[in-house]
Amino acid sequence: SRLGILIVRHLKRLERVILGYLEVCDGPEEEARLGILETLQCTIEHAWPRMPCRLPVLLKALLKMIWDVHTDQGSTPEPVTAALLQGATECLILLDRCSEGQVKVLLEGVYSSCEENRVRECIRKVQENT
């Protein structure tokens, strides 16, 4: 957040780091994933004019993470799972706002074809947010 809009200078490298952390489960407390979701939220807030062109990659990574978190029946406690899903949902809402509703349009097909309630709940929150 200290860099503010100057973060755009580092977006390409930062995007690779964010995508890498979103892909990997880092244990029951998921500290790295929670931290990177917070970083992504801050990045979207400060560099929102540059986010629409990164939308396909970020949307895919967030949806994959939501699915992985939902289907992981491992040792992750429920509050951590809920925090991860909430953080990903907030990132999707921010992406939707800076892309003028493109995320909602893209998620329509996912929502109608998905049968998992927790994943549908995340998508529904994005679609209902104005």
pTM of the predicted protein model: 0.91
Element (H, E) at 51: none
- Tell me 11's DSSP state: H
The predicted-structure confidence for 3-28, as pLDDT tens digits, reads as follows 677 677 788 899 999 999 999 998 88
Structure tokens at 15: 């995007």
The predicted-structure confidence for 32-42, as pLDDT tens digits, reads as follows 999 999 999 99
The Cα–Cα gap between 130 and 123 comes to 13
The predicted-structure confidence for 85-109, as pLDDT tens digits, reads as follows 999 999 999 999 999 999 999 998 8
